[in-house]
Structure formats: structure tokens, C-alpha cells
Amino acid sequence: MPSSSKTIIHPNEWEKRLHEVDVSKADLNRLVMDYLVIEGYKSAAEEFSQEADIAPPVDFENIESRMTIREALQRGDVEDAVTRINELNPDLLDTNDALSFHLQQQKLIELIRQGRIVDAITFAQSELAERGQKSNEFLAELERTMTLLAFGNLGPSTPTAISDLLSPAQRLKTAGEVNSAILESSSQGKEVKLVGLLKLMGWGEAMLEQHADFPKLGSTTI
């Protein structure tokens, strides 16, 4: 039952208020374009640009390059991804220590996944050890990755924090970080604006709920 201390907004009145909000078609088109660009749907972005007569915030080739890099990381080809990142933005890895470290960490994970243990140890010593000495965060990540060597064949007893490194989600995490860094370096938002609006709407509903009973998103009755 609604609280007597709250204002009650009935569904019909709520619907009426929603329809009174003026949202321009141009604003909606920009939201759609933003989603297509950030998520990397190049062909769809090109078609939508022509149909809606709206200019994309970045060059379409930038979208394709980002997606090619993401695909390389998702199949575990870190070297190809790094080469393409440097071709797209030669300064990105030199100015982003965290991104550079996580790419090298991903390469170490791939070496371990392939069973190239000697190569993995050599790579960790030559490329990651010095970074670990300069950052406690990097050192903890390096130690966690090297722990993979101690478990050999992963099983039910392997801690999730360790086994997760070999999961597809780890590759996706690294690819997402790269994608965000490239977008940010291009002065493009790294999060889809529609996602931000949904978060804002959730916050607004929570604030309004303190003072009123009203139809929530997806509901038809109070």
C-alpha cells in the first residue's frame, strides 16, 4: 500500500506528464549515433549517418580500427593488437602506463595459456618485473598472473581470482580498456551516453520515490 505521507501519482497522470516532455528527434538521433560509434557498429553507423543526415563524432575508419584491435585481443593476439594501437595512436601506450601494463599482462597470460612456460617467465622478467617494482598495484597483478604457473591444470580447487585470468572475460576486460582509452584519446566519450541516461533515470526514480508513489519503469500500476 502507498504511504499516506507520499504524493500519489496515478498511471494516467504519469503517462500524461511523460508525453509532455519534449525530446527532439535530433537528440534521439545523436544518442543512437553515439551508441553505434562507441560499440563499434561501423556499417550501421554509416547507414544511419546517411538516413538521419547526422555527422559521426569520429571518422568511420577509427571505428573499424578499434574493432580490429578488439577482435585481435579477443582471440588472444596481443602483439597484433599492440601493433595496430601504435599505428592508430603512436603515443597512447607511452602515455598510459596502466594500459601498457595490462596489455603486457595479457600477453603473459596468453603465453601461459599456450604452455610456453619458459617464454612466459622470460617475458615476465624482462617486460613486467621492473614495472612491478614501481607500482604496488602492478606488482600484485603480476604475482596473481604468475600464480597460474603454480596450478598447472586448473581445477575446482583453483581460486576464482586466478582461474578468471584464463576466462574469455579477461580478454574482454583488456579489450574494453583499450577501446575506452582510444575513444578518450580521440576526445570521444568512453561510455555510451544511453547507459549514462539510464543510470541517471535510476537515480532520479530513487530520489522521487522518497516523496511520491508513481509507476516505475516497466510497470503499469502503482
- Sort strands 212-213 and 7-8 into parallel, antiparallel or unpaired: parallel
Q: What is the pLDDT of residues 111-135, one digit of tens each?
A: 999 999 999 999 999 999 999 888 9
Quote the pLDDT of residue 1. 45
| Confidence band of 222 (pLDDT split at 50, 70, 90) | very low
Its pTM stands at 0.70
Which residues, other chains included, contact 97 with Cβ-Cβ below 8 Å and sequence gap of 6+? 131, 135
- Continuous segment of H or E residues that includes residue 57: none
Q: What's the pLDDT tens digit per position in 126-170?
A: 999 999 888 999 999 999 999 998 876 666 777 888 889 999 999
State the average pLDDT over residues 61-65: 84
Residues 6+ apart with CB under 8 A from 205: 216, 217
Residue keyed to cell 579477461: 170
Contact 40, 66 (CB under 8 A): yes
List all residues 6 or more positions away from 76 whose beta carbon is below 8 Å from its beta carbon.
Answer: 110, 113, 171
pLDDT tens profile 12-59? 777 777 777 777 877 787 788 778 877 777 778 778 888 888 877 677
**What is the number of other CB atoms lying within 10 angstroms of the CB of residue 10?**
13
Q: Name the DSSP class of 217.
A: T
